[in-house]
A and B are shown apart, each in its own frame.
Chain A
């Protein structure tokens, strides 16, 4: 499947409007899924199903939710992701902008870093496979 970035955004936007009950204009590339759009943990399952259906892709759980990294004592110390952990997150999620998170990489901040733009970047990597 070959889709332009705008086409990917439109489908991601449609999926998020449907899953989160938000308005089209709230779903901007800069909007964070949790903070701005109000996504709760169970919504991520819904979003995954909708993206899989919209793009005919498969989304393994660990690709969008790196819980195994964030709960691994090898990568987290005193609630903060270590440099090694950040490197692992970047390796796992090259499509995500982790710049803000790197400034204060507390584990509990991680849930709010993903933006709509990140999600579009992720989908782009999947439809290109």
Chain B
């Protein structure tokens, strides 16, 4: 099953922020069927897209060694629907992180106007909790990140390319 709700990373600075694009297209079944007669990207999937950007931002901050899951939606405010043909520009910033989780704040822009504000909290699954072992099969997350242009734009806090993570 494909579960990509960001099309492309456009910016990624380790420990700081991640930006990405989401194009809303009529050939996406969920866009067509969510609200019959008024095709739009379901608001929950805007949260999911932000969570994918934020989840990677948090996971990379911890060298992809934590099992990061979305734990709580602190705020989700929508200013306008995301309609077919729209391009959403997401920006997610990491506000805080500790050994048990992290908080992000995010904005979605469409035509340079605010489309949504989403604040999220991520937690780390402790060993043996819910599922054992890694959340991804070896290589799967790396492949997903490659598809989404992550490695082309991602830099560390000094602007240098990210190190190679063997555990991806």
Listed in ascending order, the chain A residues whose CB lies under 8 Å from chain B are: 18-19, 42-43, 45-46, 48-49, 52-53, 61
Within the complex, which residue of B96, B99, B100, B101 is in contact with A53, where a contact is CB–CB below 8 Å? B96
How many pairs of A and B residues are in contact by the CB < 8 Å rule? Answer: 31
Q: What's the nearest-Cβ distance from chain A to residue B162, in Å?
A: 26
Listed in ascending order, the chain B residues whose CB lies under 8 Å from chain A are: 71-72, 74, 95-96, 98-101, 103, 121, 123
- Secondary structure of the A side of the interface? helix
Within the complex, which residue of A18, A19, A61 is in contact with B100, where a contact is CB–CB below 8 Å? A61
- Asked, given contacts A45-B101, A46-B121, whether A53 binds B95 with beta carbons under 8 Å apart, the answer is yes
Cβ of A42 and Cβ of B96 under 8 Å apart? no
Q: In the complex, what distance in Å separates the CA atom of A18 from the CA atom of B95?
A: 16
Cβ of A49 and Cβ of B71 under 8 Å apart? no
Q: In the complex, what distance in Å separates the CA atom of A4 from the CA atom of B46?
A: 41
Q: What's the nearest-Cβ distance from chain B to residue A53, in Å?
A: 6
Q: What's the nearest-Cβ distance from chain B to residue A15, in Å?
A: 12
Q: In the complex, what residues of B have CB within 8 A of residue A52's CB?
A: 96
Q: In the complex, what residues of A have CB within 8 A of residue B121's CB?
A: 42, 45-46, 49
Q: In the complex, what distance in Å separates the CA atom of A119 from the CA atom of B145?
A: 41
Q: What's the nearest-Cβ distance from chain A to residue B127, in Å?
A: 15
Q: In the complex, what distance in Å separates the CA atom of A45 from the CA atom of B96?
A: 11
Q: What's the nearest-Cβ distance from chain B to residue A84, in Å?
A: 27
Q: What's the nearest-Cβ distance from chain B to residue A66, in Å?
A: 15
Give 11 new A-B contacts, CB below 8 A, not counting A18-B74, A49-B101: A19-B74, A42-B121, A43-B72, A45-B72, A46-B72, A48-B100, A49-B95, A49-B98, A53-B95, A61-B99, A61-B100
